[in-house]
Structure 1
Amino acid sequence: MATADYIMVTPYTARGYGIFEEIKAEFKNTDDSFEYIPAKLKALKGRDGKTQESATGLYPHAGFLSMFHYLRRYPSTETNRNRLRARMFYQHFLGIDVMQQAPRVTDASAVAAKYKVPTMEASDCVVCHKTIDPVAGVFQDFNFEGAIGPRKSGWYQDMFQAGFEGEDMPASNRWQAPQWLAERAVKDPRFPIAMVEHVYYILHGRKVLQLPEDIDDPLFGGKRRALLAQRTMIEDIAQRFTESKLNLKVAIKAMIGSEFYQADGLATVVEHPQRKAEMDDLGLVRLLSPEQLERKIAAIFGKRWGRLNDAFQVLYGGIDSITVTERNADPSGAMGAIQRIMANDVPCYHVARDFRLEPAKRLLFPQIDPDVVPGEEASNQKIRQALVLLHQRLLGHDRAPDHPEIERTFQLFSGILTDAKAQGRFEPRETYFCGGREEFRADDPHYTLRAWRGVLTYLLRQHDFLYE
């Protein structure tokens, strides 16, 4: 993340960087936009013909710290002077939010009038800028948008010299400044802690607990105990991460094996309601992101739904990395509506198509045909067995044919058929949008295609499908 002397590229981004022809033989599938391989870029050449200074002839890769995407995500200005990038460096790589550490100046105008350069002279300012400004100077050769472009008039003289934590960066290292910073960051004892906190967020979908501030809060004691327990776990995993020579896989495995990941906080609260505050952050229950849900649908049905990567992405809690940069994991009314649309659309497309295939090629109904209806015991067993397979495939549950949830789903299937027969007459083919078109005629004389569609809609609305 910080010291990688390469960049990960796909066949498509390799074309954008102009290196595809050089490395295309290393790709397994040049049409796969999700296949990544490491690559090194040559020193960049500007439009004016000048080549970036480099002792190796290569771009000085340093993980995220030198990635155009990362630097552009945190742009700079003539007044900000890379301080945002420095702040995010401390937050992402050392787990420190410098804005929370900085004191608030009560009279900024008085400070500005008293000192010529307040950020280097006023104690209230220096306490923060002494840390931030040197790191900001490390990024001095990157322009406001994150591309290589040193300031024409040179770096600002009214800022502390480029460096890190009291160590000045030698001028000879300026061409590889991000690498110089990365080498020191990974040796900082705060680095492994920050990385484990990232792992926690990736696996749990929520950030680590923060120190409770209101000592008069009646739940203060429980929140504090939860924080201390979590910090102990994070520090233990960070120690193992350090001993593994910063192998992130070790941290991920350790986190998955931790009590915070394995425990069922909800069940514990039912038995001990007085411990709700300290158990609130235990266990893994989170709404799948739009991207995760699309991939899950593709894995189960063989094709993505498609609408969560487009019209519904932001509404369903996703980000566009421009105006929306924080994911919303709290369900809303709009999310519920999208879930209902998805639960209707996906079965509509797949049920009839799956039955058109040979049984051995079916993903959803390999052991049953549309003419099997409830009634005889043999037919009932076939239907229940098909439901067992659907519960396993969609929800990940291995349930016996006599399980209450299988029985509930069986009654749903039977009830749909009973309601259809009660109408006296129904259209003997699937609806137009779900397979009834002339070019894809799906006859449904027993109404079973529509009944199975109802079953899938029911399963796709389940908590176990939408959450992890």
Structure 2
Amino acid sequence: MNKHTDIGWQALWLLLACLTLSGCINDYSGDVGGASAGGDGFVAGQVNESGRQHYLTQCASCHGADGNGTPSGSSLVGCATCSTLSVLADEIERTMPVGKTSRCVGDCASDTAEFILQAFNDRILNGNTTSLTGVSNSSQQTTLRQAALQLVGRLPNASEVAQVQQRGDSGLSQVLSGMMTEDAFYQTLMEIFNEQLLTDKYLSRNLNEGGINLLDNDDFPNRKWYNDEYPSQGDSDPLRNLRNCARTQSNDAVAREPLELVRYAAKNDLPHTLFMTADFIMVNWYSQQVYQAELLDKNASFRQLPQPVCEADGQSLSWDPDDFRPARINKALQYESNGIPHAGVLTSAMFLNRYPTTFTNRNRHRSKIVFDYFLDTDILKIQGDRPGDGIGNGMPNPTLLDPACYACHQVMDPVASAFQHWTDRGQYIITGNTSVNRWDSSDIEPAGLGGKKVPLSGDTGYFRNMLQWLGNEIAADPRFIRATVRTLYKGLVGQEPLLSPGEHASDADISAFNEQRSVLNAIGQAMVADNWDIKTAIKGIIMTPYYRAAAVNTTARPANLHIGSSQFLSPEQLQRKLRATLGIVWDDLRYESNRLMLGGMDSDSIIERIREPSGLMVAIQNRMAVEMACRAVPYDFSWHNSKRRLFPYVETSSSPLNENGAPDAVAIAAIRRNLQHLHWTLLGEQLSDNSAELNASYQLFMDVFNQGQIMMASPNDFDPWPRSNPCQATRDFREDGRTAAAFEDTSNNSDVAPADRRQRITDDNNYVVRSWVAVLTYLLSDYRFVYQ
């Protein structure tokens, strides 16, 4: 770091003063706080002149004279600590200025806080989160379809559609609440948080024992219990399948433990703050064997399934892998006799290994991640000189003594110190000069957060459980609200919230930013008011134009300000959409390589989804469209029309021409009605009978049909449906999309109820089936099918 000897200490502290508020150390623009009109000593409509002067002399150089931020400081509009006067004043007292917190306390802090609330936050309080000027929302029915596919991987049922049609937004809100009680929703929720945590790296599909091998064998001698329970028996090894299955279930339960904590809180209507504060971990039967953990509910037992999960040689395991319960690791560990002091995700072995430390880094990387993920703060945005070679200016211990370094390290290092009892492998030990995890506190800030220090002695001493203290502080920090809403917003909408516009931004950019802050602020506060119910925030985001916008008036607002949800489906989302719309999935996506080529992530070497398709991804979509149309059309026709997803209004005999070769008006009407159904089911568009889109689809059907009639009338020996053609319906499909056992043709069986009869589709004598295959290929190839 370069030492600026020509800058006096007083001028230097004035330079650092712009880093004082929580917003100053975070250039991210997501919303959290939001001022309250009145109450807590704040009077709207007045301006605190003393606070204005404090702000202009100490904060404006960082946050801008208008509070909309600069390159070195974020906006104060809806800032993280702008919830009430007392909260903001307390933040200023504890953190302003960086390194010299006594500069603005008492009246200075409260006056400055009052001015910030009056000048920069009163203007955004419109209380409306469902509409924006110049933006037209999709209908409630269209929003319902999109949300159902995204949240629970299915299409809305008739009852849900009727409720929305009858009650509008109120009905939509109620239906969404019901969907968020389904198991599929919790899987989606865990996927959203894994995009941030990336702990799915350790799943068996990526690494065979990726999670279990991270656990210390001295602490967890039973971590590979399956090898002892089902030992290898030589070449024949009849228990191999049982052992391998138990290993997979155990490893994946260990790997998903931090994500299961998110699901547990949401599923049981508990506050999402458990993510930071839970004094337990989540285990299923398989991972309980690994940890030898004690369930919190000592009278509880794990659920068993009717069918075995793992079996071989007459032995089986039927414990439900999805049945996770809270537990504590209370047994004696290598260096500690009192067990592990759990602190939510902060003490998860998977989280600690995913973001490890080194002897010289000393948990600073972990601190950076904590600030980013849970406090919505980018440490690297803090002002200060950073040497390119990482050596510094020769000053002993520059992180404490060099002001240019200290500006950042005094924020980051207290959190790093809180991890001092956790090794690079996530093992919990007691530190000291003779321990494996040697820690010298003389050259680094003591553990704490935001100007507070961890109490290390007395009745509230936290020496052995610093992360428990930190977790509780984070959960109480207003920035945790903003961080949570940010994670959910990106997961649902597919985009980061708008960045701080800065002092030279256009009026349109500033207006759009302030509007979004206001909306997301209201969502965050509603979530907290509902006992930190994360479902409240999810529903709130879905109800906003940022999710459901259908059109933007570019005269009223620029078109590039991220209005409306639009993201390329992940491979997992595509599989769920295929199952919801076609009834079957694409077996090619069983392979990790295909999922990655289609824009997926493995949480290891590929840590971000591709949200804009490449040429290769488009080619894969086209292949999917051809293969899935070929399989899905006859498969759907094999069912009774009351059970069909795709063709409820037509039959394989529904030809547009009658037996005399003349147009059949009744059949044509049915074909067009079914085309409308396909456009809604696959693309979510409701077409009138005379729309151009519907006419184009009908013309495609007729072009293929007419060409088929020509070929069938040719003198050549034309096979109406080659027996080797996979476009037949004779077998069912397995869960992974591969063909399963053949089904019996009961179309003429009077012993079977009409609605339950199945018909094999092995020929296409009138070319109707292949005409529908062409239409379905066309629709599945549409970009709207793979965007959501």
With over 3 angstroms needed to count, the CA separation of the structure-2 counterparts of 1:28 and 1:228, relative to structure 1, is farther
1:186 partner SS: helix
Is the 1:430–1:436 Cα contact (8 Å) retained in structure 2? no
The equivalent residue for 1:415 is 703
- Normalised by the size of structure 1, how large is the TM-score? 0.85
| Cα separation, 2, equivalents of 1:422 and 1:42 | 74
The answer to whether structure 1 residue 210 and structure 2 residue 503 are counterparts is no
The answer to whether structure 1 residue 450 and structure 2 residue 773 are counterparts is no
Matches within 5 A, 1:312-351: 312-351=594-633
Is the 1:185–1:191 Cα contact (8 Å) retained in structure 2? yes
The answer to whether structure 1 residue 43 and structure 2 residue 330 are counterparts is yes
| Cα separation, 2, equivalents of 1:187 and 1:13 | 31
The answer to whether structure 1 residue 2 and structure 2 residue 276 are counterparts is yes
Is the 2:499–2:513 Cα contact (8 Å) retained in structure 1? yes
Q: 1:417 offset after TM fit, Å?
A: 1.2
Is the 1:348–1:433 Cα contact (8 Å) retained in structure 2? no
Q: 2:721 aligns with which of 407, 429, 453?
A: 429
The equivalent residue for 1:173 is 462
Q: 1:97 offset after TM fit, Å?
A: 0.3
Moved more, 81-90 or 204-213: 204-213
Q: 1:101 offset after TM fit, Å?
A: 1.0
Q: 2:303 aligns with which of 16, 25, 43?
A: 25
Deviations 1:222-264 (A, max 9, x none): 3233222222222232333333332222222222233433434
The equivalent residue for 1:462 is 782
| Cα separation, 1, equivalents of 2:391 and 2:647 | 76
| Cα separation, 2, equivalents of 1:169 and 1:20 | 29
Matches within 5 A, 1:162-311: 162-171=447-456, 172-212=461-501, 215=504, 220-264=506-550, 266-269=551-554, 272=555, 275-276=557-558, 280-308=561-589, 310-311=592-593
The equivalent residue for 1:156 is 440
Is the 2:294–2:330 Cα contact (8 Å) retained in structure 1? no
| Cα separation, 1, equivalents of 2:501 and 2:429 | 43
The equivalent residue for 2:693 is 405
With over 3 angstroms needed to count, the CA separation of the structure-2 counterparts of 1:89 and 1:26, relative to structure 1, is farther
With over 3 angstroms needed to count, the CA separation of the structure-2 counterparts of 1:190 and 1:308, relative to structure 1, is same
Give unpaired runs (5+ residues) of structure 1: none
Q: 1:139 aligns with which of 414, 419, 428?
A: 419
Give unpaired runs (5+ residues) of structure 2: 1-274, 310-318, 658-663, 732-741, 743-760
With over 3 angstroms needed to count, the CA separation of the structure-2 counterparts of 1:221 and 1:400, relative to structure 1, is closer
| Cα separation, 2, equivalents of 1:11 and 1:391 | 45
With over 3 angstroms needed to count, the CA separation of the structure-2 counterparts of 1:41 and 1:159, relative to structure 1, is same
| Cα separation, 1, equivalents of 2:565 and 2:605 | 29
The answer to whether structure 1 residue 369 and structure 2 residue 651 are counterparts is yes
Moved more, 123-132 or 62-71: 62-71
With over 3 angstroms needed to count, the CA separation of the structure-2 counterparts of 1:107 and 1:12, relative to structure 1, is closer
| Cα separation, 2, equivalents of 1:51 and 1:435 | 64
Q: Amino acid of the residue matched to residue 233 of structure 1? A: V
With over 3 angstroms needed to count, the CA separation of the structure-2 counterparts of 1:438 and 1:359, relative to structure 1, is closer
With over 3 angstroms needed to count, the CA separation of the structure-2 counterparts of 1:193 and 1:26, relative to structure 1, is farther
Q: 1:319 offset after TM fit, Å?
A: 1.1
With over 3 angstroms needed to count, the CA separation of the structure-2 counterparts of 1:357 and 1:229, relative to structure 1, is closer
With over 3 angstroms needed to count, the CA separation of the structure-2 counterparts of 1:299 and 1:41, relative to structure 1, is farther
Is the 2:276–2:343 Cα contact (8 Å) retained in structure 1? yes
Q: 1:401 offset after TM fit, Å?
A: 4.6
Q: 1:123 aligns with which of 395, 403, 408?
A: 403
Deviations 1:132-151 (A, max 9, x none): 11211222222213343556
Q: 1:385 aligns with which of 668, 673, 696?
A: 673
Is the 2:279–2:328 Cα contact (8 Å) retained in structure 1? no
2:462 partner SS: helix
With over 3 angstroms needed to count, the CA separation of the structure-2 counterparts of 1:382 and 1:201, relative to structure 1, is same
Is the 2:280–2:342 Cα contact (8 Å) retained in structure 1? yes
Q: Amino acid of the residue matched to residue 246 of structure 1? A: W
1:79 partner SS: coil
- How many residue pairs are counted as aligned between the two chains? 453
| Cα separation, 2, equivalents of 1:109 and 1:75 | 20
| Cα separation, 2, equivalents of 1:28 and 1:94 | 44
Q: 1:367 offset after TM fit, Å?
A: 3.8
Q: Amino acid of the residue matched to residue 653 of structure 2? A: D
Instruction: Please report the RMSD computed on the Cα atoms of aligned residues, expressed in angstroms.
Output: 3.3
| Cα separation, 1, equivalents of 2:324 and 2:700 | 48
Deviations 1:145-199 (A, max 9, x none): 3343556153233222222223332344244333211111121122212222222
Is the 2:523–2:541 Cα contact (8 Å) retained in structure 1? yes
Matched-pair identity in % = 31
Q: Amino acid of the residue matched to residue 74 of structure 1? A: Y
Is the 2:303–2:323 Cα contact (8 Å) retained in structure 1? no
| Cα separation, 1, equivalents of 2:287 and 2:306 | 15
The answer to whether structure 1 residue 74 and structure 2 residue 355 are counterparts is yes
With over 3 angstroms needed to count, the CA separation of the structure-2 counterparts of 1:142 and 1:276, relative to structure 1, is same
Q: 1:383 offset after TM fit, Å?
A: 1.8
Is the 2:342–2:468 Cα contact (8 Å) retained in structure 1? yes
With over 3 angstroms needed to count, the CA separation of the structure-2 counterparts of 1:341 and 1:19, relative to structure 1, is farther
With over 3 angstroms needed to count, the CA separation of the structure-2 counterparts of 1:29 and 1:437, relative to structure 1, is closer
| Cα separation, 1, equivalents of 2:365 and 2:671 | 60
With over 3 angstroms needed to count, the CA separation of the structure-2 counterparts of 1:392 and 1:73, relative to structure 1, is same
Deviations 1:341-375 (A, max 9, x none): 11112122222223233444433334432222112
- Normalised by the size of structure 2, how large is the TM-score? 0.52
With over 3 angstroms needed to count, the CA separation of the structure-2 counterparts of 1:110 and 1:67, relative to structure 1, is closer
